[in-house]
Chains A and B, each alone.
Chain A
């Protein structure tokens, strides 16, 4: 099939399915997160049992401070549990012949999965036991995603509620509902669809086969379908097999590839409908969706063009642009997956991103550096773009003399300070982390493409380091695989970036939610900047691009842009 036609059909199919599911999924999530205390009489029996077992008073709402404290405490306990589980897995049941994970790797992995990053500095088949995978990593796939959605729900309540104490919901209720009512049932359905495509689900350790070269090969088996579903749906990205979604047991057909892309985008896209429904103005949600779609489409176009680019007759004839890509997906299926996985906080990969063209690799890197809001991770995408919307309202208001307010809530010094702090965390982590790493002479050897300063190798080596810190600080998890990240420096620094990149913005966002919730609502007047419609979508898109461009252009110029110009 003509590649352009294949690309068009795949993109159309993804958009069509998302359009069909947008309203029912978005409204369903709005119902789940509409947790006014008098509506909690509808708790499911399993939820009631869980609340009783954990001594949670589900009938009380928390202030932002209590909400954030519960979230931090839960996450800290999760990291410590996951760390020790990996360290002692060798003496626990189902360990096979695997031993405990090294301290540095255990720290990195624990931080990675709790922060919804799922950066993997290990080969799962030969590192994690069949106990650690389900009770450690898979559990975090669910709860870390539910934490992100809970924060988004709390911020929406900040806009909706008028509460003197600034109550924004109950973290434990949001966490439980997100897992039980949204992620579990949807994962189950997606797992069944993936099974129909040939994704494996097995508890056998593996089988041996003979390759074309006559050598014997051991193939690992695992309960892939069940973990693949939440890996994509929860924008986690950590594969149960090292090759991730490029592995034929994880992603066997072009159709399974499309299903996985839809699973990645479904919740982040539908959350804009949830937002619109909860604030009582669906055009607000559609405006945010338009900005997300515009950025996703733009970067997809750049990536497709860069990856399909002709590099001479001989190179094209030899299939040069297919280097690092799976033949069954081709360039369109690869570019679509790459832009979707980096625009969300997923980080699953169906190709070697390190092998992409300089501009294609730069585009997916930029996708992360925009703050992952196109359409962003589950929950993180929505609260990320809402924070940028507040900044756009403030800047727009200053430019044309309008009152800085959003959805009837005034944006004062505290709100804008919190929004700015939330946006600044990620660039600080990326740029400081990359800067320190490239001046440490001991880290040069870990770059798969290191070389003398100014040589092509050193430029790509810089891109690898920049990509690693962009991925960790944005909680993405994908990698330019040429960089070896098993040294203590990378394990520790990237682990800290993942934790701070996740939890500092969450604290600022929850503080913002509390501040907004404690305000009275003001009716829109003649001086109010309209925040629904094409004009505000344009303003918000401009704000997003300008913030990222001004912050990251120098770093990108030293990496992918310099590489593309050679």
Chain B
């Protein structure tokens, strides 16, 4: 269970970074 939580934390943190990346790209395209 703890493993799941920490893997989710890793994926969640990088997903946040990916969202920021995507947001910057979209804003630039506009």
Contacts and interface: CB of A to CB of B under 8 A. Distances in A.
A87 B4 CA distance: 12
A369 B3 CA distance: 33
Contact of A414 (B3, B18, B28): B28
Interface stretch (A18-26, A278-286, A430-438, A495-503): A495-503
B26 to A, nearest CB: 10
Interface string B1-30: 011011101110110111011001100100
B20 to A, nearest CB: 6
A69 interface: yes
A514 B28 CA distance: 10
Contact of A503 (B2, B7, B17): B17
A79 B21 contact: no
A508 B24 CA distance: 8
Interface stretch (A40-48, A104-112, A205-213): A104-112
Contacts, number: 63
A103 interface: yes
Contacts of A514: 28
A76 to B, nearest CB: 4
Contacts of A511: 21, 24-25, 28
A385 B23 CA distance: 25
Contacts of A79: 10, 14
Interface SS of B by simple majority: helix
Contacts of B10: 76, 79-80, 83, 107, 110-111, 499
B15 to A, nearest CB: 9
A63 to B, nearest CB: 9
Interface SS of A by simple majority: helix
Interface in A55-92: 65, 68-69, 72, 75-76, 79-80, 83, 87
A87 B3 contact: yes
B6 A83 contact: yes
A510 to B, nearest CB: 9
- Interface residue tally of chain A, by bracket? 20 to 34
A76 B14 contact: yes
Nearest to A498: B13
B24 A104 contact: no
B28 to A, nearest CB: 7
Given A76-B14, A499-B13, A507 B2 contact: no
A515 interface: yes
A514 B3 CA distance: 37
B7 A65 contact: no
Contact of B9 (A414, A496, A507): A496
Interface of B: 2-3, 5-7, 9-11, 13-14, 16-18, 20-21, 24-25, 28
5 contacts: A65-B21, A72-B17, A107-B9, A111-B10, A504-B20
Given A102-B2, A503-B14, 13 more contacts: A69-B18, A72-B14, A72-B17, A76-B10, A103-B2, A103-B6, A107-B6, A107-B9, A110-B10, A418-B24, A492-B6, A503-B17, A511-B24
Interface of A: 65, 68-69, 72, 75-76, 79-80, 83, 87, 102-104, 106-107, 110-111, 414, 418, 492, 495-496, 499-500, 503-504, 507-508, 511, 514-515
